[in-house]
């Protein structure tokens, strides 16, 4: 037998069949050769030739490394492994031919340019092409191109404290099939819906108490090797106690938050005072107290609580050690008009049975165990306005009382002695919000809910909590001079994002913020009513129907300190619950600086 006119070793099989061998060199290139048969002389001859076609092998692409890479990785070296790669094989990425640095029949090393990566967010499709007369192309394999995921919204962004697993939707961008939703850094059971939506399940135990969790989306990435994964900026998911509250105070003596619940309170909570465990969210105890409890104030020794009962026009004293109501006294009014109610209350420092009352009559009166001291203030109100708003805060002693009142009256510094009110001077007027806002005395300063800080003696403005990066800081405020920080509960309809801003009390500049997840309805932030400090790193804020309780290193970083946890709480058999809340009963000890 001859190939292209050159004889080949031939084996005779029979009169119609011969076998011959073509060399590797002849088979190395795709194309066509001529085959013929030569019978030797004297009776021999040569047959006419016939074509024999040599085709390219079909390359098989089995794997690509890395399988994923970061979108901003630059030029990336890649390795393709498989079989039947020819010496003339090329690699194409999304139609672009790549530079090959090394290749064998089973492996190709190439470079993926950054320009191709930048145009291929999501995935780069790779094929191996065996070039020649008949071009053969492998099946494609992809490299995932990972961008940093972003979270635009959590649905829901917060829920009442509960006992059941909760499925949430995470909406955003840059999600991949293997992206995972994380809860405080721990992966949740996640389902991929699209590159803009994931769903995940929050276990019941993670939402069974107060929490302000960080939710992120993490996507693994192989290149660069030290990256590991790319993680979104966090979104906050908060749980809250679903409870209508008018006012809120913290008692460090027993570690409980105390709240007044109006008649609209559900679950048998209406017209009561409740004690709330700030760790678990349990209603520790409840006391029915009278019609429309509103303003409350607690004594500095934590033994007495005073409650304004707006429906009755009275103030009621509660002994917190026995959990029994005590004296109840009237604020006057009547004669065809509603009785006067307590617009603001403040217990005298060092005098747990004495309380200052700013009534809707516009008058400040000091009561000792329900008995009024003879000297009362003049009317601090605009007579043309029926409703008066106010806030009271004692200074360093029981001899100085600060009053904010609206409309028109501003901030007053009132002097007190055993006979009652003995004098008053105006410290500020236009600096107060239109409803008078709230005030707090702390370490020689008076803090106004409009974000303004005054010298407690002179009334001179020392500064205001504002920043060019946020709207003017305005909202319920609490100062903690031991930390050198003030905290303002703030909600922006523009963002919308409910936040608690921390401010440095020396520089008046922002020291950070804490997001409150889900504190909105229809993208409108709920109005925060009050903010209080509790424990070492805790804050609590309430809206008309929700109570959020937060612990955060933004308040105080406890990572290097140990907590001293014990409690003293004995709930009576009449203690009640909100929704699924169990009752704490028979706990002994004390919560100290949680």
pLDDT tens digits, one per residue of 78-92: 999 999 999 989 999
* Residue 41 pLDDT: 78
Q: Beta strands of 291-437 (E only): which ranges?
A: 293-298, 304-309, 314-319, 324-330, 342-347, 354-359, 364-368, 371-372, 389-394, 400-406, 410-417, 420-428
- Overall average pLDDT of the 460-473 stretch: 73
Angstrom CA distances, 534 to 4, 204, 370, 473, stand at: 97, 26, 29, 22
* Residue 433 pLDDT: 57
Please tell me the distance from the alpha carbon of residue 494 to that of residue 122, in angstroms, as a whole number: 32
- Overall average pLDDT of the 286-314 stretch: 96
- Please state whether beta strands 166-173 and 364-368 pair in parallel, antiparallel, or not at all (unpaired): unpaired
Angstrom CA distances, 389 to 394, 431, 542, stand at: 17, 15, 19
Confidence band for 449, pLDDT divided at 50, 70 and 90: confident
Residue 583 contacts residue 574 (beta carbons within 8 Å): no
Out of 29-38, 357-366, 535-544, pick the least confident: 29-38
Confidence band for 579, pLDDT divided at 50, 70 and 90: very low
Residue 315 contacts residue 321 (beta carbons within 8 Å): no
| Phi/psi of residue 180, nearest 5 degrees | -130, 135
- Please state whether beta strands 272-276 and 283-288 pair in parallel, antiparallel, or not at all (unpaired): antiparallel
Tokens 């700030």 -> residue: 278
* pLDDT surpassing 60 at residue 470: no
Percent of all residues in the chain with a pLDDT value above 70, rounded to a whole number: 85
* Residue 39 pLDDT: 79
523 phi-psi bin (left φ>0, alpha ψ -120 to 50, beta other): left
Out of 50-54, 123-127, 366-370, pick the least confident: 50-54
Q: Across all residues in the chain, what is the average pLDDT?
A: 86
- Overall average pLDDT of the 416-441 stretch: 81
Confidence band for 583, pLDDT divided at 50, 70 and 90: very low
* Residue 576 pLDDT: 43
With residue 25 as reference, give the H or E element that holds it: helix 24-27
Classified as helix, coil or strand, 570 is coil
Each as own residue / partner, the long-range contacts of residues 32-35 (CB below 8 Å, 24 or more positions apart, any chain) are 33/3, 33/4, 34/3, 34/4, 34/5, 35/1, 35/2, 35/3
- Overall average pLDDT of the 147-163 stretch: 93
* pLDDT surpassing 60 at residue 565: no
Buried b (16+ CB within 10 A) or exposed e, 445-484: bbbbbbbbbbebeebeebbbbbeeeeeebbbbbbbbeebe
| Phi/psi of residue 380, nearest 5 degrees | -95, 75
Of 176, 184, 211, nearest to 67 (Cα)? 176
* Residue 38 pLDDT: 75
- pTM assigned to the model: 0.81
Q: What is the pLDDT of residues 270-291, one digit of tens each?
A: 999 999 999 999 999 999 999 9
* pLDDT surpassing 90 at residue 407: no
* pLDDT surpassing 80 at residue 586: no
DSSP tag of 376? -
For residue 3, the tally of other CB atoms under 10 A from its CB is: 18
Confidence band for 591, pLDDT divided at 50, 70 and 90: very low
Tokens, residue 275: 């004690």
* pLDDT surpassing 80 at residue 160: yes
* pLDDT surpassing 90 at residue 471: no
* pLDDT surpassing 60 at residue 176: yes
- Please state whether beta strands 530-534 and 538-542 pair in parallel, antiparallel, or not at all (unpaired): antiparallel
* Residue 410 pLDDT: 73
Confidence band for 257, pLDDT divided at 50, 70 and 90: very high
* Residue 564 pLDDT: 45
For the chain, state the CA radius of gyration: 39
- Overall average pLDDT of the 114-131 stretch: 91
* pLDDT surpassing 80 at residue 140: yes
Classified as helix, coil or strand, 116 is helix
Concatenating the DSSP letter of every residue in 245-301 gives -SEEEEETTTTEEEEEE-TT-TTTTTTEEEEE-TTT--EEEEEE--SSEEEEEE-TT
Please tell me the distance from the alpha carbon of residue 157 to that of residue 214, in angstroms, as a whole number: 11
Tokens, residue 2: 């001859």
- Overall average pLDDT of the 127-143 stretch: 91
Please tell me the distance from the alpha carbon of residue 250 to that of residue 578, in angstroms, as a whole number: 19
Residue 126 contacts residue 59 (beta carbons within 8 Å): no
* Residue 590 pLDDT: 31
* Residue 567 pLDDT: 42
Q: Beta strands of 161-206 (E only): which ranges?
A: 166-173, 180-183, 186-187, 189-194, 197-202
Kindly list the structural domains of the chain, giving each domain's residue range(s) and its CATH number in brackets, ordered by start.
2-54 (no CATH), 60-146 (2.60.40.10), 150-239 (2.60.40.10)
Which residue would you say has higher pLDDT here, 524 or 24? Answer: 24
Count Cβ atoms within 10 A of the Cβ of residue 590 and give its class: 0-12 exposed, 13-18 middle, 19 or more buried. Answer: middle
* pLDDT surpassing 80 at residue 162: yes
For residue 518, the tally of other CB atoms under 10 A from its CB is: 22
Residue 571 contacts residue 583 (beta carbons within 8 Å): yes
Of 117, 241, 229, nearest to 179 (Cα)? 229
DSSP tag of 24? H
Alpha helices in 103-238 (DSSP H): 114-118
């Amino acid at each position: 037998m001859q190939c292209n006119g050159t004889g080949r070793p031939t084996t005779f099989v029979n009169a119609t069949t011969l076998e011959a061998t073509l060399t590797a060199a002849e088979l190395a290139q795709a194309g066509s050769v001529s085959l013929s048969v030569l019978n030797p002389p004297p009776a021999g001859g040569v047959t006419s030739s016939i074509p024999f076609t040599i085709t390219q092998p079909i390359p098989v692409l089995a794997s690509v490394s890395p399988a994923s890479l970061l979108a901003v990785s630059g030029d990336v070296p890649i390795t393709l492994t498989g079989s039947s790669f020819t010496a003339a094989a090329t690699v194409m990425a999304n139609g672009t031919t790549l530079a090959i640095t090394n290749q064998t029949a089973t492996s190709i090393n190439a470079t993926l340019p950054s320009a191709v990566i930048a145009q291929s967010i999501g995935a780069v499709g790779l094929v191996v092409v065996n070039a020649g007369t008949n071009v053969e192309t492998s099946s494609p394999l992809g490299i995932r191109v990972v961008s940093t995921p972003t979270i635009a919204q959590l649905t829901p962004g917060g829920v009442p404290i509960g006992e059941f697993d909760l499925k949430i939707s995470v909406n955003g961008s840059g999600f991949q099939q293997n992206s995972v939703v994380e809860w405080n850094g721990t992966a949740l059971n996640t389902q991929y819906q699209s590159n803009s939506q994931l769903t995940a399940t929050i276990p019941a135990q993670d939402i069974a108490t107060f929490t302000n969790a960080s939710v992120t989306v993490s996507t693994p990435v192989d290149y660069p090797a030290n990256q590991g994964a790319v993680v979104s900026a966090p979104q906050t998911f908060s749980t809250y106690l679903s409870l209508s509250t008018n006012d809120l105070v913290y008692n460090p003596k027993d570690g409980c938050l105390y709240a007044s619940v109006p008649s609209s309170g559900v679950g048998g909570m209406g017209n009561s005072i409740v004690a709330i465990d700030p760790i678990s969210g349990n209603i520790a105890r409840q006391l029915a107290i009278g019609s429309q409890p509103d303003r409350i104030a607690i004594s500095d020794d934590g033994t007495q609580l005073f409650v304004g009962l707006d429906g009755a026009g009275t103030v009621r004293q509660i002994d917190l050690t026995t959990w029994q109501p005590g004296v109840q006294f009237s604020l006057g009014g009547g004669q065809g008009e509603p009785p006067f109610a307590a617009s603001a209350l403040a217990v005298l420092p060092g005098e747990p049975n004495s309380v200052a009352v700013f009534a809707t009559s516009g008058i400040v009166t000091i009561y000792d165990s329900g008995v009024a001291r003879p000297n009362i203030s003049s009317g601090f109100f605009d007579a043309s306005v029926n409703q008066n708003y106010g806030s009271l805060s004692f200074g360093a002693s029981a001899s100085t009382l600060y009053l904010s009142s609206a409309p028109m009256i501003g901030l007053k510094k009132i002097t007190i002695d055993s006979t009652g009110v003995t004098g008053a001077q105006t410290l500020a007027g236009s600096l107060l919000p239109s409803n008078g806002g709230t005030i707090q005395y702390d370490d020689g300063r008076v803090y106004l809910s409009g974000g303004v800080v005054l010298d407690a003696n002179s009334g001179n403005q020392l500064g205001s909590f504002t920043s060019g990066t946020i709207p003017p800081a305005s909202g319920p405020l609490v100062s903690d001079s031991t930390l050198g920080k003030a905290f303002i509960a703030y909600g922006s309809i523009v963002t919308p994002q409910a936040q608690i801003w921390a401010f440095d009390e020396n520089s008046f500049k922002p020291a950070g913020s804490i997001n409150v997840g889900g504190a909105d309805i229809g993208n409108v932030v709920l109005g925060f009513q009050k903010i209080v400090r509790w424990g070492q790193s805790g804050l609590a804020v309430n809206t008309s129907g929700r109570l959020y309780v937060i612990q955060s290193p933004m308040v105080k970083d406890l990572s290097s300190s140990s907590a001293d946890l014990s409690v003293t709480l004995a709930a009576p058999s009449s203690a009640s619950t909100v929704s699924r809340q169990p009752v704490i009963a028979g706990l002994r000890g004390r919560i100290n600086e949680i």
